């Protein structure tokens, strides 16, 4: 059975995703759950504490995915399958990405996010090196070229939902996200990588 703390987080996540973080109060969460305000504040003193806890949950989900990148042989297929699962996580926590700029004003989140980027960049560099050795990615033609690719992919993942019109057909979102990831990577593929790429467009 899910404990009260986890139920609060699950309920808040659903409401933040549906209504927007700024539109949801602690009182609305307690009313939705049919629990007393004291029951909620026992676990989370402020709404900000709920937001930070959900952010850490999101980080844990992504960490599980990125840890899997280092398991087994590097391949374009693996990279694109990872992108599909990443989208599912992003969409499950979409309030965070829609309100990304506002959430970066949370000191705990902003500080942790900056530290996390260093780890993610190192993981990305290891994956790129493996894909270069496999002959899927070409070697760098410009200094720090793959560092710039990391930054571009980060912008896609962090701001994809923020740049969309207010109402978009959910069934098309994932396709568009994956297309942006694939087309961002394409210029860095070797001929072998481009041949393999044709299987995934």
State the CATH number of the domain containing residue 19.
1.10.10.60
> 104 and 26 in one domain?
no
Q: Which domain holds residue 37?
A: 1-45
How many angstroms separate the CA atoms of 12 and 32, rounded?
A: 9
> 110 and 32 in one domain?
no
* pLDDT at site 77: 87
Residue 160, both tokens: 């994809």
> 117 and 37 in one domain?
no
The more confidently predicted of residues 164 and 1 is 164
How many angstroms separate the CA atoms of 141 and 32, rounded?
A: 55
Q: What CATH number corresponds to the domain at position 61?
A: 1.10.357.10
How many angstroms separate the CA atoms of 33 and 28, rounded?
A: 9
What does residue 99 show for φ and ψ, rounded to 5 degrees?
-105, 30
The more confidently predicted of residues 19 and 170 is 19
CB 89 within 8 A of CB 160: no
Position 83 pLDDT exceeds 70? yes
């Amino acid at each position: 059975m899910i404990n009260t703390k986890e139920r609060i987080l699950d309920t808040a996540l659903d409401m933040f995703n549906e209504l927007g973080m700024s539109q949801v109060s602690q009182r609305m969460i307690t009313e939705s759950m049919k629990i007393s305000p004291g029951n909620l504040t026992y676990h989370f003193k402020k709404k900000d504490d709920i937001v930070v806890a959900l952010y850490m949950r999101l980080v844990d989900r992504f960490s599980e995915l990125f840890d899997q990148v280092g398991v087994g042989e590097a391949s374009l297929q693996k990279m694109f399958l990872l992108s599909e699962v990443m989208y599912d996580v992003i969409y499950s926590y979409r309030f965070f990405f829609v309100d990304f700029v506002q959430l970066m004003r949370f000191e705990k989140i902003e500080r942790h996010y900056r530290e996390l980027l260093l780890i993610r960049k190192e993981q990305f560099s290891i994956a790129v090196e493996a894909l270069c050795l496999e002959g899927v990615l070409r070697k760098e033609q410009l200094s720090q070229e793959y560092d710039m690719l990391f930054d571009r992919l980060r912008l896609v993942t962090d701001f994809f939902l923020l740049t969309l019109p207010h109402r978009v057909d959910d069934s098309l979102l994932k396709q568009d996200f994956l297309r942006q990831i694939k087309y961002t990577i394409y210029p860095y593929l070797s001929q072998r990588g481009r041949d393999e790429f044709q299987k995934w467009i």
